[in-house]
Amino acid sequence: MLDQQALEVFRLCIELPSETWDEANRQSVTVGNLLYSMLVGAATWSGVTSVLPDIARALGDLHRHLTKFDVLVISNGAKDADAYLLHVARLAGVGGRVVNLGALAGGYMSPFFSGATALIGPSQFVAHNPAVHRHTGGLPVKVCHPVMDAARLLDAAQACRTAGAQTPDARGQARELREYGAMSEGATYAACSSNLPPARFILVGRVSSEKTPGMFLRAMAVLRKRWMEGPRRRSQPEGVVVGNGPLQNHMERLALDLDANVMFKGFLSVDAVPCEVQRATALVLPSTCSETFGMVVPEAMLLGVPVVTFGFGGSGELVSHMENGMLVAEATPKALADALELLATDTAMRNRLGAQARQDALRVLSLPEMVACHTDEFASPTKR
């Protein structure tokens, strides 16, 4: 819990003094540019005072408070909004100035990050992204995967299973699934409703262009057509989209036009999402854009659900092909449909991938693992 001193620093950090805005207007520059010119080149706080005394006096309380600390951590950073604090902290003698790079780290990076002593990113994609290194002065990015609330996720999944298993239909469905091979006798998961088809694929995320939801719909349409026209009679695959966004209406129309058999659930609570995910044959990540890291991947893995993805950016870094999931080499609906069909028709492989996915998620994204990853950056910083 933050003490009063730390809370006071936080208040000072988020409330830039009015003098800053007044001076920026007078010079016809942005506040970010003003603070950059004022702080980045300064060797001492007295140097700042000599250049812009009014702003230096206005920021004096913040500077004075920061002299009492050894480490400053900026969490989920990427923009200019609070990155100027790195240089105020540098001039205050704070030895450890750590930035945890956030979801926006794949694009613009603040030039203020030149004042950091350590950068921590969520994925190798962020660590090696040229946009990240443009303003870091060659400072390397240490990869520490985000930690997930595994207890909450598993509790929510268990509550769903308990509620579903209490109906006669659900108990019968569980027996049918065991006969089909989708569940082993020792499995701890069960159907949440009596409408679970043998092949059920789920997409969780914002229904927007960067998630490429149309790729998912087209892959489902390819698979559905293939099974309808094939020599063997099969239950038709079902697709589910959890989330909303600007393309939702368009995607719903496209799903109908393609006869893709995809349901749109819209936005669901954090406790309802695991119920949907754990019922799936696989989680599908159809994005062809480079995302920094997606928590939906390790959360699905923790639930024993393998992930199928093209592996762009950091979103697929936890997925090992044919070990805990599937990496599709060709970003086309047909190639994605081929991968989904393989999982749907080889339940032994699906169960093996899911079991390994769960083990890997517990190992890589545990709280002790995350703490250990950060320890070196926080330990015994020296005043500078």
pLDDT in tens, 83-115: 788 899 999 999 999 888 865 555 566 778 888
Q: What is the mean pLDDT of residues 170-199?
A: 41
pLDDT value of residue 107 = 55
pLDDT value of residue 6 = 58
Residues above pLDDT 90, as percent of the chain:
41
Q: Is residue 201 part of a domain?
A: yes
The pLDDT of residue 178 is above 50: no
Q: Is residue 192 part of a domain?
A: yes
pLDDT value of residue 201 = 98
How far is residue 237 from each of residues 234, 256, 308, 360, measured CA to CA in Å? 9, 15, 15, 28
CATH code of the domain in which 256 resides:
3.40.50.2000
Q: Is residue 215 part of a domain?
A: yes
Q: What is the mean pLDDT of residues 209-222?
A: 96
The token pair that represents 324 in the structure block:
């805990």
pLDDT value of residue 73 = 86
Residues 129 and 172 both lie in one domain: no
Residue 143 near residue 292, CB atoms below 8 Å: no
DSSP 142: E
Q: Is residue 257 part of a domain?
A: yes
Phi-psi region of 380 (alpha: psi -120 to 50; beta: other; left: phi over 0): left
Residues 348 and 276 both lie in one domain: yes
Residues 343 and 281 both lie in one domain: yes
pLDDT value of residue 372 = 82
The token pair that represents 217 in the structure block:
């719909």
pLDDT value of residue 13 = 61
Q: Is residue 384 part of a domain?
A: no
Residues 166 and 246 both lie in one domain: yes
Residues 6+ apart with CB under 8 A from 149: none
Residues 250 and 303 both lie in one domain: yes
Tell me how crowded residue 312 is: count the other CB atoms within 10 A of its CB.
17
Residues 36 and 136 both lie in one domain: yes
Residues 102 and 194 both lie in one domain: no
User: DSSP 3-state assignment of 240?
Assistant: strand
Distance CA 308, CA 279 (A): 15
Q: Is residue 383 part of a domain?
A: no
pLDDT value of residue 382 = 52
Residues 70 and 166 both lie in one domain: no
Residues 16 and 49 both lie in one domain: yes
pLDDT value of residue 230 = 79
Q: What is the count of structural domains for the chain?
A: 2
Q: What is the mean pLDDT of residues 222-248?
A: 90
Residues 303 and 373 both lie in one domain: no
Q: Is the pTM of this model over 0.75?
A: yes
pLDDT value of residue 222 = 97
The pLDDT of residue 4 is above 70: no
Higher local confidence (pLDDT), 338 or 361: 338
Residues 170 and 270 both lie in one domain: yes
Lowest-pLDDT choice from 5-14, 164-173, 269-278: 164-173
Q: Is residue 15 part of a domain?
A: yes
How far the first Cα of the chain sits from its last, in Å, is 27
Tokens 């065991």 belong to residue: 178
Higher local confidence (pLDDT), 6 or 342: 342
Q: What is the mean pLDDT of residues 253-275?
A: 96
The pLDDT of residue 254 is above 80: yes
Residues 142 and 179 both lie in one domain: no
Which domain range does residue 193 map to?
A: 150-365
Highest mean pLDDT among 44-53, 258-267, 281-290: 258-267
Q: Is residue 254 part of a domain?
A: yes
Tokens 């589910």 belong to residue: 240
Q: How confident is the model at residue 77 (pLDDT cuts 50, 70, 90)?
A: low
Q: How confident is the model at residue 330 (pLDDT cuts 50, 70, 90)?
A: very high
